[in-house]
Chains A and B, each alone.
Chain A
């Protein structure tokens, strides 16, 4: 057992001195992630605010047929009425954001207590046009309410007359919108991060050793091969777990505080994290990291060089990412069968935990089954390390 410690210590030292590892394991998650998130969110927020604050140009046809309506629109500070030749063309060419078509007999029909139709032209593919059309509809709607109230008053009726009851929708969900979003992304990230965290070290410690010609020198020492494999495995596991924890922490902190810069987002993205959620994430992450470390180590030891190992690992990554996509699929809930499906079970249990549903029975099943899958993968790694045809592949 002494050799495991010696090898672990050396591999860790060696790994930490590698600039590439430091960058992918520490710098990227701690610095880049918050920068990107904050940068992106404040950029979108400022774009949204900007287009909302903008004065949109619109056009109205038949203004003389509806002077009252025209005056209502003209009094809005967010819309500016301009004159154009063709309404439809102008909307498509973006010289105006929206247009209102008023029929010739509009006021006549209104006066005759009849109903008239108004048409708003806009471009659904453009956010600013959408904004302008909404604004226009709002003003026209307010004008319609005013006319309605007048008609009712003339007949001595209360506006309640035409509104027998009101409907109120109340959101009673305990979880917040931010928790919902987090529950979709975080399980996926746990899978990806623990895989990426293990990948580089797994290749470096196996195929990398072959490429540098150091594997032979280790194998002639009296260190039993299983202890060599164990020391390497623990190093890979450490980088995977540490980099995942760093990245998740940095992401959570960013989401909690980073959005302060854009106040409107902070409220809609608020989320809660409890100690038991953190425990669930850790309980799910560690056996997953074990599984990935063993898998990646086994695949990379077959390769003779770094490049060869990368070409084996890339397709494996794509295969392993597929089950992680389940965290984006709405409606799938954890059940006893799914609790045994590797990676899918991890994603679903983390997703549900973040939404506040922690089922410790499922968590235990998933922890134990993933630990068993990992143990099997470690056993394969151990067997591969005994095979000279793999270690000395020429």
Chain B
């Protein structure tokens, strides 16, 4: 995929595949093109050339079907403050095409799973940061997507909330979801990812498991390996 933003090419020839049950990390400095890449994958931005396939569905040709199989979460996404947690999750269930009944059932199930039933009727504005993050996670999972795209999902969260996100990523992997996530926190990537793509100035300069990347650069620390790759 390619994407120009103004005169800057934000992403150039970015190409990778992620399989079921795999966590793929997109690692890069701020401004490397992570968000642009993930937004193109999620169908938010149209690539200038190339496309993404979600479960073999072409995002350019059948965006609605492709999007229905995707869950998208970022560290900065907001909630509708005046909706109750339950209404918020259910609303997104409906937007992802679930029937009324299905959306209700799925909402209840997710709230139970994430341990947030006691906040179900609290308006999102009144929730703590951690609970808000849970609502966001539930929103992402409400239609049981096969592919998850997570853009810096732990950015701006405290340790506890951050952990609940990491925990959620692991669980989804277990369920056989294909997960793509971006971060600039090296140890988080190292801990979670099966494979890492290093993005620099809009290009993927290397792809491999954390161990492979460290071997290749001869460094023992992921931070050092990353620095060695991008400089």
Contact = CB atoms under 8 A, between A and B. Distances in A.
Interface string A12-25: 01100110000000
Nearest to B66: A222
A364 to B, nearest CB: 39
Contact of A214 (B39, B45, B79): B79
A14 B83 contact: yes
Interface in A197-226: 212-214, 216-224
A388 interface: yes
B45 A13 contact: no
A388 to B, nearest CB: 5
Interface of A is mostly: helix
Contact of A388 (B45, B74, B79): B45
Given A213-B76, A392-B44, A220 B83 contact: no
B115 interface: no
B81 interface: yes
Given A222-B63, A222-B96, A212 B78 contact: yes
B78 A214 contact: yes
A220 B44 contact: yes
Contacts of B176: none
A214 B80 contact: yes
Interface string B89-128: 0011011110000000000000000000000000100000
B21 to A, nearest CB: 22
Interface residues of B, number: 31
B43 A220 contact: yes
B91 A10 contact: yes
Contacts of B123: 17
B92 A388 contact: no
Interface string B65-78: 10110101010111
A3 interface: yes
Nearest to B42: A220
A220 B136 CA distance: 13
B163 interface: no
A219 B149 CA distance: 14
10 contacts: A6-B91, A7-B95, A212-B80, A212-B81, A218-B95, A221-B67, A221-B95, A222-B64, A222-B65, A222-B67
